[in-house]
């Protein structure tokens, strides 16, 4: 299937893109850190911290406004004088004329809402926004706008919506634009993820991806090729162009810098954008990208089939989390055999590539029913960890990483009953056949998926040289304990991109890749691991803010940054991206924090640009990032 034709231009920004040179269970438990990094806060009422957070409630980390260690943060004043103030009112009378002046023929922008929101207020669409029924909260003063876009020149014609938050306080807009990615297969404007953008001083946008649905409902795509294309890339691309136009009309000047941030599906959206429309953004912060949809989904289906016996029962039941059960045993054995491979026994598997798991030590002996895996279960787990290739040797998708089993809630999405998730892609995206069953899976599914590439969603171009040529930058990261999107798939993308761009300095000059040992999918670390994971990545600040009983330091939207480390730019990945784009300060290190149930710092750790790793050089400071160096 050919990619659909579209008239949307990625060149909506008129500024010079080149940088200017210049000088998942409760995550808050763990061992208390050494005194040099513990910073006490009032104890919560209970020492048991219950995570009351949905993935759809998580928003971006915040960007600090101070100048620390020579790394300047985006300045709230940004553009001076009237250039940073609203040029029109936040009303339908003020916004509608901007929409009607959109310059591309065949594209119609229609205003749905324009609402002035006061400082401290909230904005969203409620339960009708199925994918994200939660509002953006704790906002500064903004103009909240919802726009519908119809593009008759697309084949097939496109129809999607976007939301835009425009800072309105005097001098609040600093001339920057931020696009926020989505999650899963959801439809709906991602309001909660947008909430922190205006605190940066950014005009902040999210698309609805062209449909309205819950995150893992794929039925909306069946027989609707236009909706698949919107989700695949058209809604994001078109929303960015239209939102920049609205931003220009509202302030009277174009954004001078544009950024993207997203994780998982949002990461895929970001890669797709910088591959196909390299002029769209000056910088992209991309986490755990589910970039290879046409291969990831057949791999997921194969895992589901592998876990299904001929009588319909499951080989490995993801609901069995009992102590001594197979999954508990696997987790303990991976930690026991793999944790110390990096030279430090700290409950974090940092070098899984050095670990060859010895399954014989925990394979059930005759009569043994606990603290072991059956031979059938061992074979399944080995398949799950292994890369999947066709009989002809061609790679389909990378397997899970050792330590991903700690994120059992995400493993369950692959191992659960096939009626839950494992057949939706084939039924709704690939074959348009609601009777398709798991028993029908074969290598032909992979071949069909490669041929069709539903929605042209896969972000599988490795040639980022046009993006690099503009002086644009990428910070890419992935948790090594990710149980949803295999970590090695991002490493595979990095390595292929390195080959295409000439390797070495040719890649590092514009793309840095950070592995995060022990972190799950996009954020958090299991209680048993409690690895440092908070570094201002996408959604991480809001994850902490959503924890029941979180003190004010963990809920306030500004000043932005990692709680207890807000003054250190190395704990804020988006801040580091802006400094790299605008000041040439490449991120030589990021720093991550983990917290205790008492809301103290449990430990901190350096994150290093791949292929370098953090190495402990001061055993007395194992829980302090200062005891580690990148090598």
At residue 560, the pLDDT reads: 78
For residue 73, pLDDT over 70 is answered with no
Span 138-196, pLDDT tens digits = 999 999 999 999 999 999 999 999 999 999 999 999 999 999 999 999 999 999 989 98
- Which residues are CB-neighbours of 536 under 8 A, at least 6 positions away? 61, 62, 63, 560, 561, 562, 571, 572, 573, 574, 575
- Long-range CB pairs of 279-282 (<8 Å, 24+ gap) are 279/10, 279/11, 279/13, 279/17, 279/470, 280/10, 280/12, 280/13, 280/237, 280/240, 281/179, 281/472, 282/17, 282/19, 282/257, 282/258, 282/470, 282/471, 282/472, 282/473, 282/581
- Percentage of residues in the chain with pLDDT exceeding 70? 86
Structural domain boundaries of the chain?
296-455
Tally Cβ neighbours within 10 Å of residue 459: 25
For residue 75, pLDDT over 80 is answered with no
For residue 55, pLDDT over 70 is answered with no
- Mean pLDDT for 290-308 is 97
- Mean pLDDT for 50-60 is 31
Distances (CA, A) of 128 to 124, 226, 614: 10, 22, 46
- For the CA atoms of the chain, what is the radius of gyration? 24
Is 0.95 surpassed by the pTM of this model?
no
At residue 600, the pLDDT reads: 96
What are the structure tokens assigned to 444, written together?
A: 């032909």
Q: 315-339 b/e with 16+ CB inside 10 Å = b? A: bbbbeeeeeebbbbbbbbbbbebbb
Span 343-359, pLDDT tens digits = 999 999 999 999 999 99
Spatial contact of 202 and 304, defined as CB atoms under 8 Å apart: no
What are the structure tokens assigned to 471, written together?
A: 């002086």
- Rounded to the nearest integer, the mean pLDDT of the chain is 88
Q: How confident is the model at residue 539 (pLDDT cuts 50, 70, 90)?
A: confident
Give me the residues paired with residue 206 across strands. Answer: 163, 180
At residue 181, the pLDDT reads: 97
Span 220-236, pLDDT tens digits = 999 999 999 999 999 99
* Beta-sheet strands, E only, within 481-535: 511-516
Name residue, tokens 């910070």.
475
For residue 512, pLDDT over 60 is answered with yes
Length of the chain: 631
Span 357-368, pLDDT tens digits = 999 999 999 999
For residue 369, pLDDT over 70 is answered with yes
How many angstroms from the chain centroid is the CA of residue 129? Answer: 20
Strands 176-180 and 257-263: parallel
Spatial contact of 423 and 346, defined as CB atoms under 8 Å apart: no
At residue 505, the pLDDT reads: 80
Q: How confident is the model at residue 419 (pLDDT cuts 50, 70, 90)?
A: low
What are the structure tokens assigned to 628, written together?
A: 């580690």
The least confident of 65-74, 85-94, 269-278 is 65-74
- Three-state secondary structure string covering 303-364: HHHHCECCCCCECCCCCCCCCCCHHHHHHHHHHHHHHHHHCCCCCCCCCHHHCCCCHHHHEC
* Beta-sheet strands, E only, within 468-564: 473-479, 511-516
Q: How confident is the model at residue 19 (pLDDT cuts 50, 70, 90)?
A: very low
């Amino acid at each position: 299937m050919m990619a659909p034709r579209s008239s949307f231009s990625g060149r909506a920004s008129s500024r010079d893109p080149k940088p200017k040179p210049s000088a998942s269970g409760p995550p808050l438990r763990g061992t208390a850190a050494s005194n040099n990094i513990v910073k006490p806060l009032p104890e919560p009422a209970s020492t048991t911290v219950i995570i009351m957070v949905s993935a759809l409630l998580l928003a971006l980390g915040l960007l600090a406004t101070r100048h620390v260690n020579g790394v300047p943060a985006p300045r709230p004043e940004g553009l001076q004088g009237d250039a940073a103030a609203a040029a029109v009112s936040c009303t339908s009378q003020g916004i509608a004329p901007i929409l009607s002046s959109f310059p591309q023929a065949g594209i119609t922008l229609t205003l749905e809402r324009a609402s002035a929101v006061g400082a401290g207020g909230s904005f969203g669409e409620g339960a009708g926004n199925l994918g994200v029924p939660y509002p953006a909260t704790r906002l500064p003063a903004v103009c909240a706008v919802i726009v519908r876009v119809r593009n008759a020149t697309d084949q097939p014609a496109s129809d999607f919506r976007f939301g835009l938050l425009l800072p309105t306080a005097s001098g609040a807009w600093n001339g920057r634009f931020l696009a926020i990615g989505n999650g899963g297969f959801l439809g709906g404007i991602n309001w909660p993820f947008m909430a922190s953008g205006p605190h940066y001083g950014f005009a902040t946008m999210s698309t609805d991806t062209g449909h309205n649905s819950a995150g893992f409902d794929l039925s909306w795509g069946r027989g609707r090729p236009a909706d698949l294309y919107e989700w695949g890339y058209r809604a994001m691309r078109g929303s960015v162009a239209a939102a920049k136009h609205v931003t220009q009309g509202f302030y009277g000047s174009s954004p001078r810098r544009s950024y993207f941030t997203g994780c998982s599906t949002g990461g895929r959206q970001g890669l797709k954008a910088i591959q196909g429309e390299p002029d769209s953004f000056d910088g992209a912060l991309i986490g755990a990208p589910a970039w290879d949809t046409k291969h990831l989904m057949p791999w997921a289906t194969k895992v589901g089939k592998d876990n299904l016996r001929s009588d319909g029962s499951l080989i490995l039941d993801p609901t069995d989390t009992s102590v001594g059960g197979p999954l508990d045993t696997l987790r303990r054995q991976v930690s026991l055999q793999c944790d110390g491979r990096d030279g430090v026994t700290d409950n974090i598997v940092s070098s899984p590539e050095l670990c060859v798991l010895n399954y014989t030590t925990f394979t059930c002996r005759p009569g043994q029913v606990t603290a072991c895996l059956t031979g059938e279960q061992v074979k399944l787990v080995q398949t799950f960890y292994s890369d999947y290739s066709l009989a002809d040797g061609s790679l389909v998708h990378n397997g899970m990483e050792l330590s991903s089993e700690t994120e059992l809630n995400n493993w369950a999405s692959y191992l659960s009953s096939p009626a839950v998730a494992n057949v939706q892609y084939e039924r709704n995206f690939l074959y348009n056949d609601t009777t398709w069953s798991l028993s029908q899976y074969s290598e032909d599914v992979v071949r069909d998926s490669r041929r069709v590439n539903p929605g042209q969603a896969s972000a599988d171009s490795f040639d980022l040289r046009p993006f690099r040529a503009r002086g644009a930058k990428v910070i890419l990261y992935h948790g090594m304990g990710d149980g949803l999107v295999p970590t090695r798939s991002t490493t595979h993308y990095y390595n292929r991109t390195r080959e295409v761009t000439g390797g070495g300095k040719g890649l590092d000059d514009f793309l840095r890749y950070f592995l995060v040992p022990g972190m799950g999918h996009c954020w958090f670390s299991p209680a048993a691991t409690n690895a440092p994971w908070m570094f201002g990545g996408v959604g991480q600040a809001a994850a902490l803010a959503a924890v029941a009983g979180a003190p004010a330091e963990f809920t306030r939207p500004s000043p932005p940054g990692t709680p207890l480390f807000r003054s250190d730019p190395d704990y804020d990945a988006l801040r580091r991206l802006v400094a790299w784009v605008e000041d040439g300060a490449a991120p030589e290190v990021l720093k991550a924090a983990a917290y205790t149930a008492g809301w103290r710092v449990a430990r901190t750790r350096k994150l290093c640009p791949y292929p370098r790793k953090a190495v402990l050089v001061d055993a007395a400071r194992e829980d302090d990032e200062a005891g580690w160096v990148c090598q």
